[in-house]
A and B are shown apart, each in its own frame.
Chain A
Amino acid sequence: MTAPDEQLNRAFAALADPTRRSIVARLTRGDATVGELAEPHDMTIQAISKHVRVLEESGLVSRRREAQRRPCHLEAEVLDLMIGWIERYRRAAEERFRRLDAVLEQMATTENGVAQEQKGAAS
């Protein structure tokens, strides 16, 4: 497995947790400290801090020193990679379904033809 794949796996694993998803959702609106991230949750700062560490390890979140604060920052690039992954899969499925669209259209044409000519003929 290549390095970007491993990073994606870690990112997906990190997002398997609902608290961490909610943290990421909050960070899409801007950087926040662990204290700010803990506010909407019925959890201790320590518990939130642990979740943030998992997100850091996954590469989804980074933290920088800024005086007394260490705000959490969402690494949009990693999130984009993940979205791109699903989007590629989606487009591949869409491509297959467009072939199915074409088959369905041909079936409709054939059925009309058969109905007019020789209904019930064995295919």
Chain B
Amino acid sequence: MTLAKHETQIEANPDLPTIEITREFDAPPDRVFRAWTDPDLFARWIGPRSVETQIEHWDARTGGSWRYSNTRNGEPLASFYGSFHEVRPNERLVQTFTWEGAPDGVSLEIMTLEELEGGRTRLRSLSVVESMEVRDAILQSGMEVGVIEGYEKLDELLAQD
């Protein structure tokens, strides 16, 4: 399969409860890292456009924690929280992630940034969850409200073709 240079690649390991995402960006690692760790910048891209992201707590340091909520037209949709397990500037970001709707569930998100030629970056994000069932449920339904809404918007878009 030939993909455009920016297309996201997803790998769901058949033997491990993981999801691996690979994507390249036309920006150097320090900028990608900042877009991920600066709360104002993060809030601008993480959710779909129809959803507002309110950062409630954000301490992007090793050992720090974070929490944010999504609303649409002022109506609460979902909240997420976790810790910043490791913040290694411009190279590596390790976080835990919990959706408050399933408080016993937690995923470990390991993100690495690799500098490419021409001021570009390859991002690899590995999510590890508790079981194959949970992983498949995440793939199936979308872990965040944002992902689900993304599907819906996409389905609408595809339906127009």
Contacts and interface: CB of A to CB of B under 8 A. Distances in A.
Nearest to B43: A103
A109 B38 CA distance: 17
Range class of the A interface residue count = 20 to 34
Given A9-B136, A16-B132, A90-B8, A99 B45 contact: yes
Given A90-B9, A96-B45, A107-B34, A16 B14 contact: yes
A12 B154 contact: no
Q: Which one of B6, B7, B10, B48 has the greatest number of beta carbons of chain A within 10 Å? A: B10
Interface in B58-90: none
Contacts of B139: 85-86, 89
Interface residues of B, number: 36
A78 interface: no
Interface in A76-123: 85-86, 88-105, 107-108, 111
B35 A100 contact: yes
A40 interface: no
B106 interface: no
B25 A88 contact: no
Interface stretch (B92-100, B110-118, B140-148): B140-148
B76 to A, nearest CB: 21
Contacts of B35: 100, 103-104, 107
B57 interface: no
A13 B132 contact: yes
19 contacts: A8-B136, A15-B14, A88-B154, A89-B19, A89-B147, A91-B150, A91-B151, A92-B147, A92-B150, A93-B21, A94-B23, A96-B46, A96-B150, A99-B45, A99-B46, A103-B45, A104-B25, A104-B27, A111-B31
Given A95-B153, A104-B35, 15 more contacts: A12-B132, A12-B136, A13-B132, A85-B139, A89-B142, A89-B147, A92-B142, A93-B10, A93-B147, A95-B150, A97-B25, A101-B26, A104-B27, A104-B32, A107-B31
Interface of B: 6-10, 12, 14-15, 19, 21, 23, 25-27, 31-32, 34-35, 41, 44-46, 48-49, 132-133, 136, 139-140, 142, 146-147, 150-151, 153-154
